Amino acid sequence: MNATDALAAAKQASIDGKLSQTAVENIECWLTENRYAEYRDQVADEIAQQKWQALDDAFWTIIPFGTGGRRGRMYPIGSNAINDRTIGESAQGLADYVVQYHKGQKDLSCVIAYDTRHKSRHFAELCAGIMVAAGFKVYFLDDYRATPQLSYAVRYKHCDCGIMVTAS
């Protein structure tokens, strides 16, 4: 199923009460905007398989960023799920904020840690790549760590920020 047909099917599913309108709006972004191109086929496949409940859960909102970071269930696609796209957006957002906060500073640095939870290391490596691409020196703690160890490392290394990938 191509993106045009997938979008038409999603809109019809909304009319039929199988998808929320906000899910369709977010699905439309993922099917039509270039920044989501790598996920387009997967979104279209899920629509072709009529996975309406999973799609509605994954797209009904944009997963919020709160005091504890982003929290949600893992699903490979969707704006309301923990996946490569939403974790990458979080890391890029942090990088952009720190760069703006430290206007003109050239030696920005970040510590990244992860715990034993499913895909924690994968997401930590993804964050590291994004921070390096944004010009940060990254200290990657290459083993399972507790959150207080990240806090200590940020202070010890005099870093500008830290990222802890954890489900807690």
Q: Annotate 85-141 with DSSP letters as a single string.
A: HHHHHHHHHHHHHHHHHTTT----EEEEEE-SSTTHHHHHHHHHHHHHHTT-EEEEE
The reply to whether 93 and 155 lie within a common domain is: yes
Identify the helix (H) or strand (E) that includes residue 46: helix 40-48
Residue 72 domain-assigned (yes or no): no
Residue 92 domain-assigned (yes or no): yes
Q: What is the DSSP letter of 168?
A: -
Residue 150 domain-assigned (yes or no): yes
The position carrying tokens 């840690």 is 113
The reply to whether 52 and 89 lie within a common domain is: no
Reference 161, options 125, 124, 142, 136; nearest CA is: 136
Order of strands across the sheet that contains 161-165: 137-144, 109-114, 161-165
Residue 43 domain-assigned (yes or no): yes
For 64, phi then psi, to 5°, come to: -75, 155
Residue numbers annotated as active site: 168
Q: What is the DSSP letter of 78?
A: -
The reply to whether 94 and 54 lie within a common domain is: no
- For the chain, 168 residues long, give each residue's pLDDT as a single digit of tens: 999 999 999 999 999 999 999 999 999 999 999 999 999 999 999 999 999 999 999 999 999 988 888 888 999 999 999 999 999 999 999 999 999 999 988 899 999 999 999 899 999 999 999 999 999 999 999 999 999 999 999 999 999 999 999 986
Domain hosting 158: range is 84-165
- pLDDT for 46 equals 98
- pLDDT for 150 equals 97
Q: What is the DSSP letter of 74?
A: B
The total domain count for the chain is 2
- pLDDT for 65 equals 85
Q: What is the pTM of this model?
A: 0.90
Inter-residue contact 87 to 79 (CB < 8 Å):
no
